[in-house]
Structure 1
Amino acid sequence: MSSRRSLRHLPIFILLLVLMGLSSFAAHRIAQQLGIADLQATGLHRLDLYTASLEREIGKYAFLPGTLGLERDVLDLLRKPVDNKLAPQVNAYLEQLNDRAGTLSIYVIDASGHVVASSNWRRADSFIGEDLSFRPYFREAIDSGNGRFFGIGTTRGEPGYYLASTLADESRTLGVAVIKVSLEQLEKSWSTVEAPVMVTDENGVVILGSVADWKFTTLRPLDENTRSAFDQTQQYNRRALKPLGLKEIQELDHGARLVRIAKEGPEMVTVYPVAGRFLAQSRPLPGTPWTLTVLSHLEQVDDIAQSRAALAGVGAAFLFMLGLMLDERRRHLKDRLAAREALQQAHDELERKVDERTADLSAANHLLQDEIAERIRAERTLRAAQDELVQAGKLAVIGQLSTGIAHELNQPLAALRTLSGNGVRFLDRGDLTTTRANLERIAQLVDRMGLITGQLRAFARKSSGQLQAVALCSALDNALALLEQRLSERGINIVRHCPLPEPFSLCDANRLEQVLVNLIGNALDAMDGQSAPCLEISCETIGQQARLTVRDHGPGLAEEALAHLFEPFFTTKEAGVGLGLGLTISAGIVRDFGGTLSGANHPAGGAIFTLEIPLTAEPRKP
Structure 2
Amino acid sequence: MKADYLDHLQTPIMLINAKGELEYYNFICSHFFKLPPRKLKKLKGIGQLLKVSDFEILKHAQEALKLGAPIVSPELNLLLNEIAYTVVIKFIPLDQKVLVQILDYSIEKHLHEKYKQHILELKESHEQIVRSDKLTALGEMISGVSHEISSPLTIASDKLLSLAEHLHRKDEKSSRLDLEELTFQFKRIKQIVSNMQNLTRSSDEAVCVINIKTVIENALNFAQDLNLLSGITIELKGESYILGSALKLQQVFINLIKNSIDAFKEGAIKEKRISIHIESCTEQVVVNFMDNGPGVDESEKLFEMFYTTKKLGEGTGLGLPISQKIIESFHGSLSSVKKESGACLELNFQPLIKKVLL
- TM > 0.5: yes
Match of 1:535 in 2: 274
Give 1:563 shift: 3.5
Give 1:565 shift: 2.1
1:225-374 matched pairs, under 5 angstroms? 329-330=31-32, 332-333=34-35, 335-336=36-37, 341=41, 358=73, 359=76, 360-361=87-88
* 1:496–1:340 distance in 2 versus 1, CA, 3 Å: closer
Q: Is the 8 A contact 1:394 1:514 kept in 2?
A: no
Name the amino acid aligned to 2:269: Q
SS at match of 2:337: strand
For 1:38-63, what per-residue CA distance to the aligned partner results, in whole angstroms no more than 9, with x for missing partners? xxxxxxxxxxxxxxxxxxxxxxxxxx
CA distance in 1, matches of 2:208, 2:130: 19
Q: Is the 8 A contact 2:210 2:241 kept in 1?
A: yes
Q: Is the 8 A contact 2:30 2:40 kept in 1?
A: no
CA distance in 2, matches of 1:340, 1:432: 112
1:496-575 matched pairs, under 5 angstroms? 496-499=236-239, 503-528=240-265, 529-558=268-297, 561-575=298-312
CA distance in 1, matches of 2:157, 2:175: 14
**Gap regions ≥5 residues in structure 2:** 1-27, 51-56, 62-70, 77-86, 90-102, 354-358
Give 1:585 shift: 0.9
Name the amino acid aligned to 2:292: H
Which of 211, 219, 232 is equivalent to 1:479? Answer: 219
Give 1:515 shift: 1.0
Name the amino acid aligned to 2:346: T
SS at match of 1:476: helix
Match of 1:416 in 2: 156
Q: Is the 8 A contact 1:390 1:511 kept in 2?
A: no
Name the amino acid aligned to 1:336: P
Q: Is the 8 A contact 1:545 1:614 kept in 2?
A: yes
Give 1:480 shift: 1.0
Give 1:580 shift: 0.9
TM-score normalised to structure 2 length: 0.64
Match of 1:204 in 2: none
Match of 2:170 in 1: 430
Match of 2:23 in 1: none
TM-score normalised to structure 1 length: 0.39
For 1:13-33, what per-residue CA distance to the aligned partner results, in whole angstroms no more than 9, with x for missing partners? xxxxxxxxxxxxxxxxxxxxx
Give 1:347 shift: 12
Q: Is the 8 A contact 2:148 2:227 kept in 1?
A: no
Which of 333, 340, 346 is equivalent to 1:610? Answer: 346
* 1:392–1:349 distance in 2 versus 1, CA, 3 Å: closer
Q: Is the 8 A contact 2:46 2:58 kept in 1?
A: no
CA distance in 2, matches of 1:458, 1:449: 14
CA distance in 2, matches of 1:348, 1:554: 78
Give 1:556 shift: 2.1
Q: Is the 8 A contact 2:333 2:347 kept in 1?
A: yes
Give 1:545 shift: 2.0
* 1:427–1:330 distance in 2 versus 1, CA, 3 Å: closer
SS at match of 1:601: coil
Identity %: 26
CA distance in 1, matches of 2:342, 2:283: 28
For 1:426-450, what per-residue CA distance to the aligned partner results, in whole angstroms no more than 9, with x for missing partners? 2222211221221122111111111
CA distance in 1, matches of 2:290, 2:223: 16
Give 1:327 shift: 12
Q: Number of residues paired by the alignment?
A: 274
Match of 1:585 in 2: 322
Give 1:418 shift: 1.8
CA distance in 2, matches of 1:541, 1:391: 35
CA distance in 1, matches of 2:174, 2:227: 35
Q: Is the 8 A contact 1:569 1:580 kept in 2?
A: yes
